[in-house]
Every structure is written in structure tokens, then in C-alpha cells.
Amino acid sequence: MYYMKKLLFLLFFLSLSFSYAQDYFPTDAGVKTTENTLTAFTNAKIYVTSKKILKKATLLIENGKVIAIGKSVKIPKNAKTINLEGKTIYPSFVDIYSNFGIKKPNRKTSNSRRTQYEASREGYYWNDHIRSDVNPLKAFSFDSKQAKELINAGFGVVNTHMEDGIIRGNGLLVALNPNSSDAYRILDTKSAQYLSFSKSVTSLQVYPGSIMGAMALLRQTYNDASWYANGNMKNKDLALEALNANKNLVQIFKTSNLLDAFRADKVGDEFGIQYTIVGSGDEYERVADIKSTNANFIIPVNFSNAYDVSNPLLAQQISLRDMRKWNQEPSNLKVLAENGVNFALTTNTLKSVKTFHKNLQKAIKYGFSKEKALAALTAIPANILGNTKIGNLNEGSYANFIITSGDIFDAKTTLYENWVQGSKNMVNDMSVKDLSGNYMLSVNNKTYDLTISGKGAKQTAVIKLGDKKIKSKFSFIDDWISITLNEDSGYTRMMGQTINAANVMQGTAFDTLGNETSWSAAKKVKKQDKKKKNKKEKEEPIVVLPVSYPNLGFGNYELPKTETILIKNATVWTSEDAGILENTDVLLKDGKIEKIGKNLKARGANIIDGTNKHLTAGIVDEHSHIATSAVNEWAQNSTAEVTIEDVVDPNDINIYRNLSGGTTTAQILHGSANPIGGRSAIIKLKWGENADNMIYDNSPKFIKFALGENVKQSRSPNGTRFPQTRMGVEQLFVDYFTRAKEYDALKKNGKPYRKDDEMETLAEILNGERHISCHSYVQSEINMLMKVADRMGFKVNTFTHILEGYKVADKMKEHGVGGSTFSDWWAYKYEVNDAIPYNAAIMHNAGVTVAINSDDREMSRRLNQEAAKTIKYGGMSELDAWKTVTINPAKLLHIDDRVGSIKEGKNADVVLWSHHPMSIYTKAEKTIIDGRIFFDRAKDKEKRLAIQKEKSTLINMMLNEKMNGGKTKPPMIREDRNFECDTLEELKN
Amino acid sequence: MKKTIYSLLFFFLVGNILAQQTPADKQKTPFSIEGATAHLGNGEIIENALIMFNEGKITFVGSAMTKIARMGTVINAKGKHIYPGFIAANATLGLVEIDAVKASDDEDEIGAMNPHIRSIIAYNAESKVVESMRPNGVLMAQITPRGGVISGTSSVVQLDAWNWEDAAIKTDGGIHINWPGSFTRGRWWLGEDPALKPDTKYGSRAEQVKTYFENAKLYLSGKKEKTHLPYEATAGLFDGSKRLYIHINGQKEITDAIHTAKELGINKITIVRAEGADKIADFLVKNNVSVILNRPHRNPNSEDDAYDSTYTIAKTLTEKGVIVSIGMEGQMERMNTRNIPFYAGTFAAHGLAKEEAVKLITLNAAKILGIDNFTGSLEVGKDATLFISEGDALEMRGNRLTEAFIQGRKISLETHQTNLWKRYANKYKSK
């Protein structure tokens, strides 16, 4: 209904009459004429839809629409009839993720060194990357060249949009009808709304600077849109207006990797919006999670080439994950289909649409069903758009259909014509005879061997005399064959036509001397061909290597199960008052520590001998940046609205490496680029689980604050953001908390308020629901934050880094704040000049809860050794030293009721060590989380061998591919990402 | 006035909190250390040992059971451990004070070919970072310039000195080059994939290095009408008085670099950083090439590498007969130089025998640096540069020094950091 209302006035009239020239337009070119467009296609095999197939049926079209279809259609006398005996008709395809005819805007550049924090547009949203107001019609220009490519590939309708920005405005549904005008071929000017996590190239506004910022921005935009809709804003905001107006359209969200697909879905779910997600072809890696999004997907059919692995030194450096991708991704469509995911296909990301069918044929070879393929190109995209007139050939639908020589998904099939809106586009001339085959060519008393291949007008020939290839030219135009032979003796020219349905051709020839003679060619009936065919059919079976979780080296094919485990006769470091218990048994059951004692017994338990070994609680790292796709949302001085929980990356090998060093829990903190940073994710390192399953259930809420050099942009040559001094940092906190108080008061009064995610977070701090972990170095700033907290009525939970904590340990004790510090880092910047390794011991002695943290993905796999340094520096006892990486950080994170010590009833997160846990010589032998063995040294050895073996298998496959003429690409090395506190990543646009 | 007196008083009471530690005087009286487990640095160990030294030199190394008169001050070190002073190879101590403060940075001179640039000149003997080495047993270091293709010339220092002249124990002993890598990153700003891929310019870059040294050699054999300072500086490489340190990773690059050096007639060669050297250990042995490994406390290069792949390389190389030491290069390298004992410990945890691990940072380092004739192990006649630790010095919790000596001089184990520690520990105690 609303479709009609929203049409431009131009299109309004269009619905009244369908003709090639607008009915009511005056004509000065001659008398007014109306063409008869009634056409019947008879005797064809017709796919009305992917499921409904008619044999020997008739399709009757008029004025661009199907008016009848069936086996017994009565053909009116004035209809033009086209006999399609032996041919097949399909509905033309629909690509619902396209930028057809819409040029991406030019990238904005600037010579200014000043970072742009504010929006450049006036009268629109505060963020330039929200472009819901963009009207694609303004930028649209029918691109005949691009249209031709799509038509040749079988597409009849595309849904195009301006591919720029986070919210990108609405879509334009366009019929690929070059014979018409925009007045007819634009089917819908508001077909969908498009979104992505990429910034607009038209603006240099830096926010959002990260994927989590983009997610937060979307949320705030939705908040503001409803605030605006309720008439609460004084100003005009055309972006929000447009967003509200487009609320009921299909929301199509473009993502560029699997994790982003889940992230998009998560944001949508929070606002009751089910996005249709444009995937990236890697959905097979976590198909169960894809299924449970309940989203419709749009999937590209784009596969990478094999690596050129002929240089063994280089080949060795390609990561298993990248090699696997080549092997596994052609099975993506099959896997999605088999798991009941509803998806359409798109040509998006293909360098050339010409490769679409080849890729699709590959996917079919890998088990994707043809019926599903057809549906994914017709009915499904139409359904997603809620358009019943495209993607099928039911009566009343657009006459968008293709005529083929047979099965459209067969490489040998010829696509003849693609009719769009009842208008014919010729792809391959149906009337051109197929000459392909082997002929004996007789001319001048010589017999040549003539082989013709190709389709339509593009048929080519190879001519041999005996084994010798003869230089020659061949063409087949307008039913006339023309052959020129170029031999040593000169040129022989021939013209002729076929007789007997192409089995024989004959005509006139001119020999090298210009004498006129005749020539003929007769088709050979070959037996060899069949043999060849048989050979081809015996192609090597397709081997798709199994997916692991995560899908890379050291991944788990099966996730570890919760076991009943009895560790016997170990030295148990309890991290409790009980201290160290010698020759003790610990029973783990149902994911909990069931019992600690001597001579324990448990039926069916996995018994592990702990003799001469040490059992401890799993290490807890208070400050980590592993397992995340982003660290800093640096583009504003306060970003309480972002959360690392949005961007947890379960594919980070550092998770596994941390397990190998006995770490089981980590707080993944936002970085230190701004005074008020983002919210944390507290995770268990359950290698193989998805992001959500790693995050603690009922996780305590944390946020990162930061002080000092990083937040005042000390090492940036052109910092312009407030604050630039420690003085300014104080005022920033005072400002934000003052506003948060006012916000919270308004909210608690039950008055209407503009929901602000940033203020919501700060109010949680004021209300004691969220804890602060604050990056800090020098004593003045540490003292400052405690004073601001006292004044504003909140508590600082943890100072992290806290390298001068030893100077204010008494004040910290009084405030009740903990310290999570490095064991011995210093001298890397000016503010750590007075950092001393005795810091932990001094704070501990002053009664502060002290943890040793990593902030470093390498150190976090040997925090046990860092704890040992507190013994060397400052003489902490071994028991107290061990607590700095177990129960103390657990206390600081408010998870000490669950982890951090070996105590009956707590989570079964334990580590079995080969030696004293703080010895440099010790190794974690088993790392257990919730009673599941996530790291096992013996299994690790097996995994190493398996990686070697699988790589060798893949290298062989790739060599095969190359030897058999497949395309390859040069090797590339995947580099380790190193996120630290001050890493400033950049969100792409 | 009153204030001044108080602050003066404070200064004298608490000690020279703000100044660096004063270097110790020459050894005046002999020392005898008795009862400790002596780790000689050459792979051997003596339980219940007796070590004596006088006038800066070791005079006795043996069992405490030996009936011999104890000379001078006797230190009872029963239950403790004694080691030769640890040596940090490929270090930049004293060249940069604070990483992020450019004004304090003197490690990387402009220009690509800098063999004449000498690290010893910029070495700050009074650096707070330098003094923080000593409580961990690190008593000597090779001070190495960074950057460029030919970074410059290194010297070896002891870490208790008034100035660089005083500190130097081997001046201008090695020339350091950064051999080109065979991979390059895509230029992302041109839309290329930023991942690493084979560098097509590798061959020509390697050729450049070779040509430079060939030209230097030609110059040195000629009339030298116009002095060429950089070429002059390379002379020692060809006459055997200097060692060539090639900083590079990758078995292909290492192989190419060694072939090139050999062709140039350079015989003293050490590969620095040396990832992948384990794969061509036999080739290294055959060519008498030693290795300075980078610290093992770093992440493996590839996600497919075993988590301990940086830990096991010392074992592999040592077993094949390569002389191996440990160096520092990369992030926070100066501050972390004091962790060198623990890097050795990590290699020991992953397959290397403990005494072999000690050797990495004592005699092996001395051999590579060309100072093994007077230091690097506990042997009679060598410098009395050694320390006593309460426990295993390769362990964090064991490395607790009670005494340390450089050239027989009993050095201070206090630092800027211990001063702050005591100052604040006392502050709370007195409360």
C-alpha cells in the first residue's frame, strides 16, 4: 500500500499505463502509434518459480507483464509467437545488494592537520556518517555497460543504493531495461534501507574510530530517532526524519566478515529490528550461530584463488586459516542451505560479473543444490523485498525472464535472451546455428581437419593439415561461413553456408591464384569424445577439510566437554587461607570444584596423577587486550557508550597461547586514548566457543578510565582535543559526572529524557552498579581521581598500571581502591620515570589489594613468572605473590566468589603445573575451565603435527590446482596483531 | 634558611637519592667467597666452592674443601650461588633514557651506511636504566647502534663507570648491518593488501650491501688519496680485528648474508635476532657463524607456530654446536635488558641444560664479543666480574643479589628504584 503512496509523481502515472512512450506525452515525430507487444513463447520448459516447473508450456506477455502462463494457454491471434522447442525459460535474477548506476562519492581530503571531531553538515545528525537522508535517485544514472554485464549473467532487476556511510539511505529497485527510460524501469524508489559499519568517504569526522564506536553510534542514533519522533527536539534533523520515515523498509546491513555479521544482528535485535545481513562468504565457519540470528542473508559468490605454493619457503609461511579458506569457502552455500539459512545471492564483491556463473557452478559442484540456487536468485530476494512481481513468472508479474539452451547452472548451457519488462535483450543469437564439432574440410584436393567451438557469433575454428596447425581466419555471421587459410603457397578464401542442419557446409572457394572452385566440410561422428567425457567424469572427488572452532591452526574440532576430573596427590596452591596443601586430591564435577581432600574417589572420573605437580587456580589477568577486534574508540574524549563486549574476537590465537601459560580469565579492557574509555568484557578463555559464550554470565560491569600522557595526546604532534593537560583531565571528569548526575536525577524523577548511552553508563557508576578500572601513572593524577570520586560520590574500583601507586598507597587504602600493576615495566615514557618494581610490594604492605597484570599478549601467557618478580622485588611471600595473579585480580573484578582460588563450590578453573607455579622452569600441563580441559600439553603436540600434515595436504591440493591451469595468487603472510593500551586502530571507510 | 638546612639534612640522612650510584674504587683488598654453588660460565659447576680474587683478577677457583689460606675479606655464601657477571649482547643501554622522549634518544643516526658511527660516544654511563641492570646480575653489555643498513660500530662496556671511556672494556669491536628482509608490506594507502608478501626488490637490496663492502675493500687496497671515513671504519672486518654482526631473520636471508660475507673475505660473523637459524644450524657450524638470539619472551611469528617456538631455538642450535648468546632488540629493549637472566632461564625450561643456559649470557657472549680472554667465566686470571645470588639467578624468585663485583670492585646494588623503594617503604613504616 505504502509503495503506491511513496512513488514519485512520475511513477504514479506509470502505473496507469504501460507503454514505451508515456501515453499522455505529445508527439511531434509523426502520427501517434501504439505497438502491439503481445508475445507468446511456446513449447518451452518454464520455471514459473524455482519449484514450479512446466514442460512444453506457453508464456504470454503483454506490456511488460506476464498475462498468462501454462500448458494450455490460448494464444490470441494478434500475438507474435516464438517457438522455444527444446529451450528453457527462467525468471530473470534479482540482485538485491548492488550499487548499479550509483557512483561512490569522491573521498574528502584535507590539508589541515587538525582532526575533525564535529559534523560538517548542518540540519542533519551530529555525525556525518549517519546518512539516512541520502536519496539514491539523485545520484542514479542508468549504466548501460554495467547493465549489459548483468543482463548477460541473467539478472533482470537490481536493488541499488549509495554504498557509503554507516546509515546509507534507501534503496532503488531498478529493472535492467536498457530499451526503456527511468520512468518505467525504476520499480521502487524506497525499496529498502542500507547500513554498514563503514564510514562515509564524504566526511573526515573521525568518530566512530572503531567498530565498537560504529555499533554505539547506531544505538544512539536509534535512541535519538525515537526522541525526535516524539517531537522532543527543538532543531530540525533531516537524517533522523529520514530514518524514521524509512523505519518500515527492509533494513539491509552490509558486513565484511563473520564477526561483524553477528555484531550487526546484535544491534538490530536490541531495537527490535531484524536486519537482512549481507555476508562475506565465511558463514560456514559458524553456521549454527548464523542460523540462530534468524536473519535473512545476502551472500556473495566470490571465491579466492589458490596460493602459488611452488616456493616451499614461502608456502610454509601462509597461515593454515588462509589456506583452509580457499579449500572450504566453495562449500559455504551448500552448508548454509543444508542448515536452513534463508539467503539470496549477490554479485557484490566480484571483480567482474562475468565470473558469477563460474563461481556458482563451483558452489554447485561442492554440493549446493540447483533448486536452492535458483530460489536464491529469484524468489528469495523478491520475498526479502516483499515484492511479488519479480523473481517469478506468475500472471501479473513483470515479464523478466531468460531463455536458455538448457539447465542455467550447467557450464555448457547457452543463455540466449534476457527479457526485461517484456523487452528483449539478446545475449547469444538463438538463430545462429551451433556449428561446434569436428569436420573434414575439403578444398583444392586437400583435406583439412576443422574444429569449431564457441557459441553464437563468437564461434571460432582451428584448422589442421595432418598434425600441422594452419594459420586461418574463421567467421560465422548472418548464417554465412567465411574461412581464410594462410599457407606458404598463399591464401585460400572460402564462403559458404550450412546444409542438413549443420552437419555439412559447402560453398565457393578462391585458391591461392584466385581460381574459383568449391569447398565442403562434413561433420565427423566421433567416438573419442565419449571416452574423453568418461575421463572427465572421473574427476578427483572434492575434499573439503573440516572446520574447527575457531577455524585456524590449534582450533578444536570438538569443543571440550565438562568432565568429572579427579586430580590426585598434587601440591595444591589454594590462594585461600588454607595456603598450600601437600599431597592433596581435588575433584572437579559439573564444572565446579566439588571436593578438596585426601584419598578422594569418584566413579567414572578422569583421574589425573598430580604427584610432584602443582595445582593452582587459573590465572586471572586484570588488564588484557587479546581476543578483541578493537581496543580504542579514540575519536572522542569520552566514549562510555562503547563496549568491548561488542567486539570480542574468538579467533585470536592468543587465547590459546594464554591457556598454555595457565591464564583462564581476562578482563579485556578498552584502551587508554581518552579519559573516559569504553566498557570492558570479562571473559573466560574458552578456546573454540563463540564470543558470547566467552563472556561471563552476569558479568560484573566495568569501564576503563585513563589519565596521563595518553589521554592528553602527549605524543601526538597535532593534538587538539580537550584535555591537553592533567588540569583539563580533572575538569573533564567533573563535567561528565556533573551532567550524569543531572541526567540520572531527571530520569529518576520519571520525566521524559533523551536516552543517552554515555550518560546511562556514567549514571551506573554513580549508582554503584559499574566499576572503574583506571589507567594511571603518576601520583598527582591518582590522587586527583580519588578526590573527584569523593566529591561526586562514587568509588574508583581499580587503578591499573598505577606505577606510582607506592607514593600514595596510604590514600589508596583509605579510598578502598585496588592496584593492578606491571611487575617491572618502566622507562618507556616520561611518566614512568619513577615506576619501580617494588610498587606491588609497597602497595601490598600498605593493605591495598594488588594484582599483577599484563597489558601485553605475550606477557599474559606467563603471568606466573611476573608474579614471581614480586618476591625478588620487595620480598613478598610466595603465597602473597601467587595471589597477585589469582584471587587478588578476581577480587578486583568482583568474580572472587566464582574464580581465583581453589575452594569447594567455586568454578573448576584450575591449572596443573609441572613444577612450582612461579618457577621459570614450570609449564602448564593442563588448563581447565569449568571442568573442561581447554589446554593439554600432550594434545598440543598432536595439534602441531596435525597442522603440519594439513598444510602439506593443502599445499598438494594447491599445486594440483596450479598444474591443472587454475589461477593462483602469490603467498601472503598473516601478521600477528598487537593491541596495546595506546593502539589507535582506524575504522575503514 | 631553615628550609635549606632541613633539606640538606634530609639529603645526608637518606643518601644520594637523586644522584646515580657512585662507581666503586679499584679493588684494594682481596675477597674470598666460600661455600656457594659456583656456576663457572663454561658449563661447569662447583658445589661448595671457593673463589678468591685480588687486584681485580680471579686468583683461585676451586672447592671450599681445598686447604688453602683465605685471602682478605671472607664472604660466607653457603646456600647461595655465584656467577660470572652476565653479559647483554646487542643492547642499547645508555643510548636512550626514556623511549618516548626524543631528546633522550641517541641510538639511530641518519643515513643508511654508517660504519663510522660509534656507539660508545653516546653511551651514558650514568643512566638510571643502566644502574638498574646490576641488581639482576647484568654487569656488562654490548652497546649497539640501531637503524640504517649499516647501523655503525659497537663497543662493550662494564656497567659501573664514571664515563664512557671508563666503561669501555672493548672499543669498536663490531660492525652491525641490517640485512634486507625478503618480504614487504602492501602499501595500504594505494589500496594494496597490507599483509606481508615477497619483496621483488630483495635481490637488489642485498646486492647494494655487497657492493658497498666491495667498494670499501677496493678503497682500502688503493692509494686512499681522499679519506673515506665510512670505508676506513670497515677495515677491521677484512683484517679480522672486527666482527660483522648481521641482524636478520629467516633462513633464506641468513644463508644469503653469510654467503655474501664469506665472499667478501669476512670471517668473523654473527647472526643477530636469527629467527629460522635453527633450520640451517649445520650450515652455521660449517661456516663458524655464531648467533645472538632475540629474547624468547615474544610472540611466535605465525599463529600456526607452536606457543613455545621462541623458547626452543636455543636448545636446537646449541645441540648442533652453534655458539649462542642472547640479545635485546625491539620494544622496551633497554628496560628489559635486566630480564636477560630470565630469558636464559626460559631457554633452560625448554630443553637447554641449565649450565648451558648460564653459558649463553656468560662465556658464549664473551666469546662472540671477543672479551673471553679476560672475562665471561670464573677462571683464574680473568677479571673478577661476578656476583652472588641467594638463589638460582635464572629464576625470578631466586635472582636476589647480595654482592656484585666488577673487575674486583665491590659495586653498589642500589639504584634510583631501590632508593624510591626504601624512601616510601619507610614513609609508611613511620606512620
Q: Do A872 and B397 touch (CB under 8 A)?
A: yes
Q: How confident is the model at residue B193 (pLDDT cuts 50, 70, 90)?
A: confident
Nearest CA in chain B to A969: B197
Cell 654487569 locates to B139
Distance from CA of A407 to the nearest CA of B (A): 38
Q: Say whether residue A650 is in contact with chain B using an 8 A CB cutoff.
A: no
**Which chain A residues have a beta carbon less than 8 Å from that of B332?**
825, 827-828
Backbone angles phi, psi at B409, to 5 degrees: -85, 125
- Mean per-residue pLDDT, A729-744: 98
Measured between beta carbons, the chain B residues lying within 8 angstroms of A828 are: 98-100, 332, 335
Q: Within an 8 Å CB–CB cutoff, is residue A302 touching chain B? A: no
Percent of chain A with pLDDT over 90: 82
**pLDDT value at position A490?**
86
Nearest residue in B to A946, CA atom: B304
Query: ipTM of this predicted complex?
Result: 0.95
**Measured between CA atoms, how close is B237 to chain A, in angstroms?**
31
How far is A346 from A298, CA to CA, in rounded Å?
6
**B68 min Cα distance to partner chain A (Å):** 35
**Helix extents (H) in A769-808:** 779-792
Distance CA A863, CA A856 (A): 10
- A89 in reach of chain B (CB within 8 A): no
Domain boundaries, chain B: 100-375
Partner-chain contact B349 A654, CB within 8 Å: no
Q: Rounded distance, CA A589 to CA A602, Å? A: 9
A421-457 pLDDT tens trace? 999 999 998 888 878 888 999 988 889 999 988 877 7
The pLDDT value recorded for residue B141 is: 98
pLDDT tens digits, one per residue of A237-296: 999 999 999 999 999 999 999 999 999 999 999 999 999 999 999 999 999 999 999 999
Residue where the block lists cell 657463524: B289
Nearest CA in chain A to B251: A313
DSSP secondary structure string, A16-52?
T---SS-TTS---SSS-------EEEEEEEEESSSS-
Residues 6+ apart with CB under 8 A from B229: B116
Does residue A858 belong to the interface with chain B, where contact is any CB pair within 8 Å?
Answer: yes
Distance from CA of B217 to the nearest CA of A (A): 33
| pLDDT the model gives residue A19 | 44
Average pLDDT over residues B13-27: 71
Answer yes or no: do A872 and B396 touch at CB < 8 A.
Answer: yes
Checking if the pLDDT of A684 tops 60, the result is yes
Place of cell 581437419: A449
Using an 8 Å CB-CB cutoff, list chain B residues near A825.
332, 335
Q: pLDDT band at A24, cuts 50/70/90?
A: confident
Cα Rg for chain B, rounded, in angstroms? Answer: 23
- A vs B, Cβ pairs < 8 A, gives 154
pLDDT tens digits for A279-310?
999 999 999 999 999 999 999 999 999 999 99
Q: What is the pLDDT of residues B49-78, one digit of tens each?
A: 999 999 999 999 999 999 999 999 999 999
Residue A681 phi/psi, 5-degree rounding, is -120, 125
Helix (H, G, I), strand (E, B) or coil at A918: coil
Q: Among A639, A726, A649, which residue's Cα sits nearest to residue A676? A: A639
Q: Which residues contact B110 (CB under 8 A, 6 or more apart)?
A: none
Reported as a single tens digit per residue, the pLDDT across A158-211 is 999 999 999 999 999 999 999 999 999 999 999 999 999 999 999 999 999 999
* A15 has pLDDT over 60: no
pLDDT tens for residues A112-155? Answer: 888 999 999 999 999 999 999 999 999 999 999 999 999 999 99
CB atoms within 10 A of CB B163: 12
A826 touches chain B (CB under 8 A): yes
Q: In this predicted structure, which of A468-482, A766-780, B327-341, B392-406 has the lowest mean pLDDT?
A: A468-482
Distance CA A656, CA A789 (A): 38
- Average pLDDT (B33-58) is 98
Contact of A842 with chain B, judged by CB distance below 8 Å, is answered with yes
Weakest mean pLDDT among A6-20, A693-707, B86-100: A6-20
Q: What is the pLDDT of residue B198?
A: 84
Whether the CB of A919 is below 8 Å from some CB of chain B: the reply is yes
Q: Which residues of A touch B338 (CB under 8 A)?
A: 824
Q: How far is CA A529 from CA A437, A461, A504, in A?
A: 10, 17, 19
For an interface test with B, the pick among A855, A918, A920, A952 (most B C-beta atoms closer than 10 Å) comes out as A920
CB-based contact, A289 to chain B, within 8 Å? no
Q: Is pLDDT of B20 > 80?
A: no
Assess if CATH 3.20.20.140 describes domain B100-375. Answer: yes
Q: Is the pLDDT of residue B9 over 60?
A: no
What does the pLDDT read at residue A532? 52
- Closest residue on chain B to A945 (Cα): B306
Average pLDDT, chain B: 94
What is the overall mean pLDDT for chain A? 93
Q: Which residue matches cell numbers 540462530? A: A292
Report pLDDT for A502: 62
pLDDT at A718: 76
A396 or A501: which carries more pLDDT confidence?
A: A396
Percentage above 90 pLDDT, chain B: 90
pLDDT tens per residue, range A580-639: 999 999 999 999 999 999 999 999 999 999 999 999 999 999 999 999 999 999 999 999
